[in-house]
Structure 1
């Protein structure tokens, strides 16, 4: 078994521990996709909460028969006894002489598992030794600098040139200082466009044109009427079992939740036609009554068309599961499809809800994929706006509040605009109007 250990530093104090764990699991899945010959363990350090713990992905968790994706590992003094105790506990959990390592019916004997545990212990011993060596080297460098500065001070006065020379003997500090000075020199007097180009060259992203907008109420804007379309175009995914969607719902002006009343799916499995209404008792699984051909909408009901980005793993009719908001088991809850990059489109005919919600991924059965980056397209009449989102939570409960849309006014953009003395301005829908 090849094992790699990575450290992840969490700098966002607003994230909950569950959000941090889901984010780290997502990153580990990305590592595994790049190099599948390794198993990865991430040590998470959160200076905000003073927490330090380790995270493994779902696959490695199952291979080790862990109860959870997280456990303590390195603390002050680099004590790895907790991990070693956990590995001993894992070995004791094996029922009989074999244990399943994954869902492909691969098994290992008790002796092979014990050998794997022994190898893991050896790898961690070696890893801790390397980390301790690096830290000792850093401490020695710092101690050497302090000694040089103290010797200069006690020799009869502070010589600024001598102190600078002593500091510059440290190659790491010297190299870092040179880079910082070079960057600062080249950015003095730079325009915003030059700053953007420089940051992109260094691998960072900034808005090419800096604008910050106040929140916009699409629902209350009477200039826009007709069919409302919300589309999701996947850019990147995480997860090894395709993708999942569930819990499609909209909300009316009173905040009441509307879900599917009738629904039917096309023979190719890519299109759903449905009627949404409030206070609907959800069917189980795929037992949806089709929309009557002569059906007339009652007051408050909405006709909805959905174009799926991929057909279900399990057959066309199973796409109806994504409409169920109250499943009693995972077999009734979600649509599962391949990692398709086609757009998922939800059209509400002649209707503007106050809010639209859907779950990407599934809360009832772990392991299915979800979008880590995607474009969301909003269209109504001859107005259209596309926003790009990045996501690390699983499952991702997407909620589009049409009374409080955020067009470029996220916290980072606001901070950047204030730094450049750029005011936050009202959003102008005319800038996104499409000529008829």
Structure 2
């Protein structure tokens, strides 16, 4: 799917002149119009388009907001309120940006879940998957730094707690923490650093996204069967077949996004962040944004020492390890069958894994009582067990269902059943 002669033919003199010097129209045509995609793609494959749209929304709204934001610990909170009240349509820009971060993560979690379900990380798409995980890490860093900028109570104390995690690392921990803070505590240098990086990282994400799309076009798109394309009858042109599907998925996604922006703009935020940061008044319950809560629950689940590793360092290692383990996923899954559609036992454990992640997210928002901590420990155990035990072992002992010989055969079988 990555090779083949281009079918693009310029129809005007100007088009031929541009094509011979900078074949950008040819690249767009080959990548987004004539590009062959499997004919059985479903709506689970529209999340990539949603992510592309949300990245554009976040960059555009972020650039305009940066024109009015003041990165000063005495003025930051007031500048955000000034954007809301005094800037033309400032309230809309801020709500689009704040809720856009949440919907960006909703789309990326759906995208990752789809990759896990259909085995999109398997050979020859290992680099494609690794680039996707790298994008996710950059998103997490960008989102965390952006959450600090309004300089509310949860912004200040969230930054204090999160950067404090690095002090758990021996020898280099305190140096890393001071480098992030620009001093010994959250203050003006911290805000300067976070504002600069929050402005820069979305453009880095855009660059990695280009590599991600490039890798996708080299290896070709996966499909619900997990069977590779074997002939031209297995594919259809990207436009209009995949384009229309993506358009419908994006429209529905944007409708839900708009509902939150216009009717529940503060629903996904924390009320304490509407109080100006005060270093002398600690909130009763410090929690990160909702999209970090599963990892926060795993961090708090480690309440015991393991040899020379104390509970604080153990929690930090578990939290970072829960993300780093995703980089090794292509080599942890030993099954030769990609799609969960043909793996009945893997499908069961996958949905248990999804439920476990949702449970961990809920536990991360609760006060760490003995009961909730015990539940988080079991949830953390299953999270790592899914990747380190279930995936490697299940791939060796599971008997999958019969795979179709081709994508076309799968489509015809489905049509016959319908």
TM-score for both structures, normalised by structure 1? 0.19
Between Structure 1 and Structure 2, which shows a larger proportion of helix residues?
A: 2
Between Structure 1 and Structure 2, which shows a larger proportion of strand residues?
A: 1
TM-score for both structures, normalised by structure 2? 0.19
User: Which one scores higher on RCO, CA 8 angstroms, separation ≥ 6?
Assistant: 2
